[in-house]
Amino acid sequence: MTILLLSLSLFFWGCSKKPHIKIKELPNTYLSESSFDELQGWESENHQEALNSFINNCKSEKTQEIYGLLCQRARVARDAKNFFESKFNVYMVMPEDANDKGLLTGYYEPTLRASLTKKEPYIYPIYEEPKDLISVELSSIYEDLKKYRLRGRLEGNRLVPYYPREESDKIDAEVICYSDSKLDIFFLEIQGSGRVELDDGENIYVGYANQNGHKYNSIGKYLIDQGEIKREDMSMQSIRAWLKKNPNRVDEVLNYNNSLVFFQKKPHSASGALGLVLEPMRSIAVDPNKIPLGSMLFLKSKIDDKDINRVVMAQDVGGAIKGTLRADMFFGSGEDARLSAGHLISPLSLWILLPKETK
């Protein structure tokens, strides 16, 4: 099997002593040759736990395309640290410009209350993918646009943009269930998946199915621009608190984000874009146009003012995750996860681990 990401070309950038390597399949991503010795915290990493995460990641086809036979060899590796150091090369992911310090945020699996039937207070629908939503893979027409997808609906014989959030009452879609909180649904969309406690005692899981095609607009930025929340005070918790204090402006703020996410039932707890169950503190969401989905990375950042240096897996995507040095870390479920994820805004450095072998 040919390793997808080893079609690399050397590219010299500025006056750096190290060559910067360009990923052929991701033309705007550059890497700098590095080593395990340069990874702060590598010696104290739980290498066996990291190896187990890699083995689990290898259940996805995208990871198998990148790492080939290493997915098989990982299962019989006796020394996890030696396996990584002998089988992988390390490359630092370079910023898109010199001033980019990278950004790590967090997400979690929220819990919502809902009912299968519409009744007070369960009146806010969680929609499946609409019947009239059309998705066009532009690569079928233009090869250069293979990273892009066009979404819309037919109006006569014309393809027009799909309904924005403020026109969600026009959506032609099945309803999975009805929640008692419009805010909880909005934050569910941001997280991408969650668990639902039904009023009959049953629990179900829902996950991302599709999106209406409109650009994601941050309501946090909107509230900052409006002078409602100071930039240094911005967090998921501060947004939720502000909205609860200003119920008459909820629709105004939420509708600023025209993007709308649709869901599907899932057989298990939070799973990412690879279809794998997400692992707290090991799974991250990335921009797949910049970082290969399914790849293994080493992450350096801070969480609650403590250094974090660890191997992570690029298993998910997100509408707000755009850029090369941009990642969203999964924290799991529960109140502690919600608080940690909601407050996390930290500088980020990334290294990608790629195979030494090409077959």
Identify whether residues 125 and 205 lie together within a single domain. yes
pLDDT-based confidence at residue 9 (cuts at 50, 70, 90)? very low
3-state secondary structure of 150: strand
Q: Flag whether 335 is in a domain.
A: no
Identify whether residues 219 and 72 lie together within a single domain. no
pLDDT tens-place string over residues 18-36: 545 656 666 678 899 999 9
Element (H, E) at 70: helix 70-74
pLDDT tens-place string over residues 237-291: 899 999 999 999 999 999 999 999 999 998 877 788 898 989 999 999 999 989 9
pLDDT-based confidence at residue 192 (cuts at 50, 70, 90)? confident
State residue 137's pLDDT score: 74
Checking if the pLDDT of 15 tops 60, the result is no
pLDDT-based confidence at residue 7 (cuts at 50, 70, 90)? very low
Question: Of 182, 192, 220, whose CA–CA distance to 109 is shortest?
Answer: 192
Checking if the pLDDT of 12 tops 80, the result is no
> CB-based contacts of 50: which residues, under 8 Å, 6+ apart?
80, 84, 282, 310, 311
State residue 266's pLDDT score: 86
Distance between CA atoms of 149 and 170, rounded to whole angstroms? Answer: 22
State residue 130's pLDDT score: 96
Domain that holds residue 213: 107-266
State residue 29's pLDDT score: 84
Q: Which residue has the tokens 């080893």?
A: 6
Instruction: Among 237, 266, 295, give the residue marking a domain's end.
Output: 266
Q: Greatest CA separation found in the chain?
A: 66
Q: Flag whether 10 is in a domain.
A: yes
pLDDT tens-place string over residues 45-68: 999 999 999 999 999 999 999 999
Checking if the pLDDT of 358 tops 90, the result is no
Q: Flag whether 277 is in a domain.
A: no
pLDDT tens-place string over residues 316-342: 988 778 899 999 999 998 888 888 888
Which amino acid is residue 23, in one-letter code? I
State residue 147's pLDDT score: 62
Q: Flag whether 276 is in a domain.
A: no
Mean pLDDT, to the nearest integer, of 87-100? 89
Q: Flag whether 137 is in a domain.
A: yes
Identify whether residues 121 and 256 lie together within a single domain. yes
Q: Flag whether 302 is in a domain.
A: yes
3-state secondary structure of 286: coil
Identify whether residues 225 and 193 lie together within a single domain. yes
Question: Of 192, 24, 356, whose CA–CA distance to 11 is shortest?
Answer: 24
Identify whether residues 112 and 79 lie together within a single domain. no
* Residue 125 preceded by cis peptide, ω within 30: no
Q: Flag whether 160 is in a domain.
A: yes
Q: Flag whether 272 is in a domain.
A: no
Instruction: Among 266, 298, 315, give the residue marking a domain's end.
Output: 266
State residue 43's pLDDT score: 97
3-state helix, strand, coil in the chain (%, to 5): 25, 35, 40
Q: Quick check: 276 and 315 in contact, CB under 8 A? A: yes
HEC assignment per residue over 287-356: CCCCCCCCCEEEEEEEECCEEEEEEEEEEECCCCCCCCCEEEEEEEECHHHHHHHHHCEECCEEEEEEEC
Identify whether residues 48 and 154 lie together within a single domain. no
State residue 275's pLDDT score: 86
Mean pLDDT computed over every residue of the chain: 88
Q: What's 257's domain CATH number?
A: 2.40.240.50
Identify whether residues 55 and 42 lie together within a single domain. yes
pLDDT tens-place string over residues 105-153: 999 999 999 999 999 999 999 999 999 999 887 666 666 666 667 899 9
Query: Considering its fold, how many domains does the chain have in total?
Result: 2
Identify whether residues 116 and 255 lie together within a single domain. yes
Determine what percent of the chain is predicted with pLDDT higher than 70: 88
Distance between CA atoms of 24 and 5, rounded to whole angstroms? Answer: 8
Q: Quick check: 94 and 324 in contact, CB under 8 A? A: yes
Identify whether residues 126 and 86 lie together within a single domain. no
Identify whether residues 99 and 111 lie together within a single domain. no
Identify whether residues 227 and 303 lie together within a single domain. no
State residue 11's pLDDT score: 38
> CB-based contacts of 306: which residues, under 8 Å, 6+ apart?
none
Q: What's 39's domain CATH number?
A: 2.40.40.10
- pTM over 0.85, yes/no: no
State residue 5's pLDDT score: 45
Instruction: Among 211, 241, 266, give the residue marking a domain's end.
Output: 266
Identify whether residues 191 and 70 lie together within a single domain. no
